[in-house]
Structures are given as structure tokens and as C-alpha cells.
Amino acid sequence: MIMMLIIPSVTFAGGLDKSKGMDKVTLEGEFLCIGCNLKKMSGANAQCSLYAQHTIGFKTADGVMWSIIDNEKGHDITRAHTVLEKGVKGRIIGWIYPAANMIEIDSVEVNGVSMEVIQKAAWEEDQKVAKILTSRKVGEVPVLGGQQH
């Protein structure tokens, strides 16, 4: 019997966060559109250009894809697909929720893209989506349209 040990590219940043009951971790990898990557890898019926608008996640060197919790620190990252969806490298320090493959960002570093650029791209995306959604009728499927991949 051969057993393999797979060690994910997760390092503990140290220091238990008492409010969460867990340590912060550091993930290194690349930002990507989760839906488009699942479609390419496994044929998922992701329709990012119509619905999710390429919600950004994070892929570590071991191939694990993490969705980012959409909160105060994660929102701009998840929405800035125009500047992050093509495999931009970076580092996230935060808390992982392995059962859901989610990470909550405490801090983030993005190689070659400033936070100002990320914030502007996310704001522009939010404005576009808000305009389309406010014209949606009850019972209509929210078709946002957009860039195809």
C-alpha cells in the first residue's frame, strides 16, 4: 500500500485570532476567474459573462482554488476581474475555511497591480452591474452580458 502526503501551499502566519478561533494563514498563488477555470478544467457550465461577471478567486501552487469571502476586504478583489483574471500572482493573508474552500482576507498583495487600480476596476464593475440589475423585471433572469472567454 502506497500512501501519499499532499502538503498544500499554506503557511501559518502565526497568532491565534481569538474572535475566529483559528490562526491566520498565508497563501501564495494567482488570482483567476473560478468559473472560467472550472469550465476549462472540468467542463463546468459556468456562464461568467452572463451572470457572475468573472468573480475572482485564488489558486495555490497545489492546484487548489479558493473562493474569496465577499466582505469589506474581499469585495474589490472579487470584482476587479478586468485587472486580475489572467493569472496575476499575489499573496493573501487571512483565514481559511477548508470545508467550503473559502478564504477571508486580512491583507493582500497583488504583483504589478496597485490597490488603487483594483479599487477603480471593482467600482466600475459594480456601477455597470447595478445599472443593469435596476432595470431587471420580476421573474427575469439577470443577464449581465459582457466579455466572453
Please give the pLDDT value at position 38. Answer: 67
Please give the pLDDT value at position 85. Answer: 76
- DSSP three-state, residue 125: helix
- DSSP three-state, residue 101: coil
- 110: its cell numbers: 497583488
Its sign, for the CA torsion 53, 65, 37, 111, is: positive
* Other C-beta atoms lying within 10 Å of the C-beta of residue 100: 10
Q: Are 104 and 69 in contact (CB under 8 A)?
A: yes
Please give the pLDDT value at position 16. Answer: 55
Which residues lie below 8 Å from residue 19, measured CB to CB, with a gap of 6+?
A: none
Per-residue pLDDT of the chain (149 residues; tens, 9 = 90+): 444 333 345 554 555 566 666 789 999 999 988 777 766 666 656 566 555 566 888 999 999 989 999 999 999 998 898 888 778 999 999 999 999 999 999 999 999 999 999 999 999 988 887 877 787 788 877 665 554 44
pTM above 0.85, yes or no: no
